[in-house]
């Protein structure tokens, strides 16, 4: 219940009411007058009034603004609300009564894809509750309420209906591991888990907060996930698929493990393509670099899958240790843990395969670099005696020895000699290389090792 405003702020409250009244009177007057630049005049007047209104609101405490909102009609409430920045809105919502929260929450509540979905059980099937106003949620008997990227206003008025406080989905990933599974004094069961989102462009883990309270499952996250869509479709189409909120929670974890298994199959297929390319033919440095990028992406996805199933195992184990599950749910939980254990072996195998393919790709790069170094070595060996001879040819003694020979003839003969020496050096290197190859072939034929 709101307290009466103090006398200190009654003048400010009256000033807000006067500005709202003046805005309406001037708007009506402008509409009735036949004058040029009708829209421009109305815009200027409204801008001046809203500036005065913002100045007054910025100097009022949150509780006083909440009290002012409570006494205004819907149109004026929304007008004042639009003049407040986000920093002022949150503390005001904490002070406002539920009647104000419902009105402000309705401002952008009904969208094409609602941020809030509620489900109940009808004839053994999960049924989505149509939410046109917050009162629809108050009168319903849901077993699952799913909040996708809820605003601060959404979390306030939904939490007020059920008497709980929802966490901020933007801060779910900031929690320490020790604070992700716990039970409140009022019986709320909190679980914060990671769910895999595998897309063509990028894969990542999305943090999801679950709250079990009074046989209702609340789920909060920043964006839609395939696992949740799959669960809703199954429960909507199959009778007796779920019986209560705990069944929904376990099915979500089971679907998460199944989704992780599908993602592992995609990693297998991607690595098979990479392995065929790596082992079938030599690669250039550009091809090897591209393959290393593909391998790194699959390694990142495999690591996320491993972290995802590990987190799911922790959540299911927490539910089992806390004795929150019925007998049939315990058996189902054990089956989920067995499925997760089988996935651990696959992720470990994939890590080994990824390391092998990465080593093979790096080996091709090293081979290509060795070939380049070999060519440079041959060139340096060929030109080494030529450099010695060229140094001798540039000395004064060479000029003295060829003083009776015209210089074009002497230097032409000298250049021809350099070419012959270089060619002979190259031939000797080839003979030595062929000799090493023959010795290697003989050793292989004796040992039988290819």
Residues 183, 314: one domain? yes
pLDDT score at 6: 55
2 in a structural domain: no
**Which residue among 86, 105, 124 closes a domain?**
105
Mean pLDDT, residues 104-131? 68
DSSP state of 4: P
**pLDDT tier, 444 (very low <50, low <70, confident <90, very high otherwise):** low
Residues 205, 311: one domain? yes
Where helices occur in 394-406 by DSSP H, the ranges are 396-401
**Which residue among 314, 337, 364 closes a domain?**
364
CA dist 284 to 36, 178, 272, 278, 392, Å?
74, 49, 19, 11, 42
Mean pLDDT taken over the chain: 77
CA dist 129 and 124 (Å) reads 15
Residues 132, 77: one domain? no
pLDDT score at 109: 35
pLDDT score at 9: 58
Residues 373, 360: one domain? no
Please give the biggest Cα pair distance in the chain.
123
Residues 411, 341: one domain? no
% of the chain exceeding 70 in pLDDT: 76
Residue 225: pLDDT over 80: yes
Backbone φ and ψ for 51, nearest 5 degrees, come out as -65, -40
CA dist 121 and 141 (Å) reads 9
Its domain, for residue 413, covers 369-447
Residues 255, 152: one domain? yes
In 3D space, the residue among 418, 121, 78, 109 whose CA is nearest the CA of residue 245 turns out to be 121
pLDDT score at 290: 82
Counts for the chain of helices (H) and strands (E), in that order = 14, 7
218 in a structural domain: yes
CA dist 151 and 133 (Å) reads 16
404 in a structural domain: yes
Backbone φ and ψ for 370, nearest 5 degrees, come out as -65, -35
Q: Is 49 or 206 the better-scoring residue by pLDDT?
A: 206
Look at the chain and report how many structural domains it folds into.
3
Residues 42, 56: one domain? yes
pLDDT score at 103: 56
């Amino acid at each position: 219940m709101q307290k009466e405003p103090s006398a200190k702020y009654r003048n400010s409250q009256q000033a807000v009411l006067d500005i709202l009244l003046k805005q309406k009177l001037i708007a009506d007057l402008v509409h009735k007058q036949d004058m040029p630049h009708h829209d421009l005049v109305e815009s200027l007047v409204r801008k001046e009034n809203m500036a005065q209104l913002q100045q007054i609101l910025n100097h009022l405490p949150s509780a006083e603004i909440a009290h002012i909102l409570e006494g205004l009609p819907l149109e004026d409430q929304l007008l004042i609300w639009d003049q407040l920045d986000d920093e002022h809105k949150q503390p005001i919502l904490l002070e406002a009564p539920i009647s104000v929260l419902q009105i402000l929450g309705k401002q952008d509540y009904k969208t094409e894809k609602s941020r809030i979905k509620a489900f109940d059980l009808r004839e053994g099937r999960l049924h989505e509750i149509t939410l046109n106003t917050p009162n629809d949620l108050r009168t319903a008997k849901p077993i699952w309420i799913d909040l996708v990227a809820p605003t601060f206003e959404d979390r306030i008025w939904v939490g007020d209906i059920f008497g709980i406080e929802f966490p901020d989905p933007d801060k779910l990933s900031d929690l320490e591991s020790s604070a992700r599974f716990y039970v409140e004094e009022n019986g709320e069961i909190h679980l914060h888990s990671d769910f895999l989102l595998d897309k063509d462009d990028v894969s990542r883990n999305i943090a999801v907060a679950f709250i079990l309270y009074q046989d209702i499952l609340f789920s909060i996250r920043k964006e839609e996930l395939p696992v949740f869509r799959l669960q809703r479709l199954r429960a909507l189409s199959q009778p007796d698929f779920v019986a209560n909120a705990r069944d929904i929670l376990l099915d979500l974890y089971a679907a998460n493990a199944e989704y992780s298994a599908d993602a592992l199959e995609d990693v297998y297929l991607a690595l098979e393509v990479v392995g065929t390319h790596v082992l079938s033919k030599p690669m250039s440095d550009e091809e090897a670099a591209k393959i290393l990028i593909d391998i790194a992406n699959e390694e990142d996805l495999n690591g996320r899958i491993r972290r995802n199933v590990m987190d799911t195992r922790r959540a299911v184990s927490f539910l089992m240790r806390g004795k929150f599950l019925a007998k049939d749910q315990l058996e189902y939980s054990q089956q989920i843990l067995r499925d997760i254990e089988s996935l651990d072996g696959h992720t470990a195998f994939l890590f080994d395969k990824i390391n092998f393919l990465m080593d093979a790709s790096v080996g091709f790069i090293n081979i290509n670099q060795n070939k380049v170094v070999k060519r440079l070595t041959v060139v340096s060996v060929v030109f080494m005696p030529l450099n010695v001879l060229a140094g001798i040819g540039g000395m004064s003694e060479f000029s003295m020895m060829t003083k009776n020979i015209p210089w074009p003839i002497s230097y032409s003969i000298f250049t021809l000699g350099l070419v012959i020496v270089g060619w002979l050096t190259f031939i000797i290197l080839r003979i030595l290389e062929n000799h090493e190859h023959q010795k290697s072939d003989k050793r292989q034929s004796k040992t039988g090792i290819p």
